[in-house]
Amino acid sequence: MPQQDGDLDEAAPGGLRVTMGAIAGLCAAVATAHMTLVFLHVAPSNPVSQRLQQPIHAWVNPLFEQNWLLFAPNPNAVNTQIFARAGWMTETGEGQTSDWIDISSVDTADTKHNPYPSRTTIAMLRRAWVSYMTSHGEDEVSRGEWALMLAEYLRNIAVQRISEHVGHPFQTVRIKVVTYPIAPPDTGGTAQTVRPEPYTRTLPWWNATSDGS
């Protein structure tokens, strides 16, 4: 059984009651302020949240981050296949490249018939690519520190995943992403049987770290 706290308020002498009221007021105020700031952070930008931008940001990030965008506003209606290839110098000074290696198929394979895949399978490459995509235009130029970091992250994953396939040191790495739009549901009509075409995005050659690790 929970221990009963009794009716503290009624039993307490006058001075204590004031202190208790102050404590209750403080707790309620903190709770209200917290939820107000969180609400304003999640709500669409409005005059109040614009004026309070600084305090909202300072309070909510990073401890009270709110990320409730799963499949919203729309689910990503695409499947992606991600390839990488390595480049290196031979002893004679010739530039050589490996074939394109599919670095995303391992995730699809590991997800299949697995009730609880690791987050390395579910999140790592997929989120790295989505984050890269949202921070880079089709010219693949990293603008700003954040974009640079995301490019570096994607590169590190690619380097790790192709290392065992390549089997020897390499100096450069290149990534290619093929995106397959998911066809809308077949409504049984005659009209739209056109399957959306996949499109390919090829990123520039990047330097891998010298030992290819």
Partner 1 sequence: MAVDQTSPAYPAPEKADVAPEGITPAGRLRNRFDDVYRLLTRQPLSLYATAVMRIGFGLLYTIMLVREFPYRHQIWGPESPWSPDLARRMFDEYGLFSVLNLSDDPRYFEACYAFALITAVVFMLGWRTRVVSLVFALVMFSFYSRGVFMTDGGDNLAVLMSVYLCFTACGRVWSLDARRHRRHDDGSRPEKPGGIRILRRFTVTVMHNCALVVMMAQMCVLYGAAGLYKVQGNLWNDGTALHYVLKTDSFRPWPALSDFVDGHQVLIGISCYLTVLVQVAFPFSLFSKLKYVLLPILVGMHVGIAVLMALPLFSAVMILSDAVFLPDRFYRAVARKGSALIAAVSPRRAATRPH
Task: Give the footprint of partner 1 on residues 107-166 (CB under 8 A).
Answer: 107-108, 111-120, 122-124, 126-128, 131, 145-146, 149, 152-153, 156-157, 160
Does residue 185 touch partner 1 according to CB under 8 A? yes
Which range in 4-12, 48-56, 87-95, 196-204 contacts partner 1 by CB under 8 A? 4-12
Residue closer to partner 1 by CB (options 9, 99) is 9
Residue closer to partner 1 by CB (options 70, 168) is 70
Residues 164-183 that bind partner 1 (CB under 8 A): 182
Which range in 12-20, 134-142, 166-174, 190-198 contacts partner 1 by CB under 8 A? 12-20
* Alpha-carbon span 132 to 149, nearest angstrom: 9
Which range in 48-56, 68-76, 89-97, 195-203 contacts partner 1 by CB under 8 A? 68-76
Q: Which of 34, 51, 143, 195 binds partner 1 (CB under 8 A)?
A: 34
